[in-house]
Amino acid sequence: MLTLDPELLGKEMPVGEVTVTAEEIRAFAEATGDRDPLYFDADVARQAGYVDCIAPPLFCMKIRGERALPDAEIGPGLVSLNAGQEFEFYDEIYVGRTYAVSVKITDVYEKTGRSGPLGVLVREMLIRDTAGKPVVLMRERRMVRSPEKKI
């Protein structure tokens, strides 16, 4: 169901850098209905002990969406689904700072679910600061299956 170049499995691949802007944080916060002033108001952020505005935790999904990630080839006609995501947060994402992004496919396997055979791909995205310190680790499970049962 999923075909992966064996050399990609377990290989950490840099997929670019991102410098986070206030406009991006504002746009993400507004698009998700999150009005925490820490995301918008630098004075509030400083009064709360931060050096500047911070991003909502799941802002990392914007960083993920902006880049092409290594992937497995999906069999023809199969349906791809997002089965789940796990996040580990080690630090805040700050406005104006630059972060390095890397991706690693950690597992590809097949199993049988209620709707029949499933293919599962597990992929990690790690965001590091300029010192190399982990900031966010996101692990996502993508699932592919037959489209016979409509969702």
Partner 1 sequence: MSAIETKPFDEIEIGDEIGPLTYAPTLDEIQRYAAVVRMVDQRFMSKEIAQQRGFEHPIVPGPLSATVLSRMLREYLPGWRLQTFNISFRAPVRHGDVLTCLGLVTQKEESDSVAIVHCDVFAENQNGDRALVGTATLTPRSAFRG
Among 7, 111, 132, 150, binds partner 1 (CB under 8 A): 150
- Mask 84-113, x = binds partner 1 (CB under 8 A)? xxxxxx-xx---------------------
Q: Compute CA distances 110 → 73, 78, 143, whole Å.
A: 14, 13, 9
118 token code pair: 């499933």
Strands of the chain (E only): list them. 2-3, 13-19, 73-74, 79-89, 98-113, 116-128, 134-145
Please say which residue, 82 or 112, places its beta carbon nearer to partner 1.
Answer: 82
Nearest to 115, CA basis, from 78, 149, 142, 75: 149
Among 47, 106, 115, 130, binds partner 1 (CB under 8 A): 47
CB of 68 to partner 1, least distance (A): 11
**Contact call for residues 140 and 65 (beta carbons, < 8 A):** no
32 token code pair: 């998700």
Please say which residue, 8 or 74, places its beta carbon nearer to partner 1.
Answer: 74
Listed ranges 11-19, 45-53, 104-112, 114-122: which one lies at the site for partner 1 (CB under 8 A): 45-53
Q: Is 58 in the site for partner 1 (CB under 8 A)?
A: yes
**Contact call for residues 4 and 104 (beta carbons, < 8 A):** no
Query: Which residues of the chain form contacts with partner 1 (CB under 8 A)?
Result: 24, 27-28, 30-34, 36, 38, 44, 47-50, 56-58, 61-62, 64-66, 79-89, 91-92, 147, 150-151
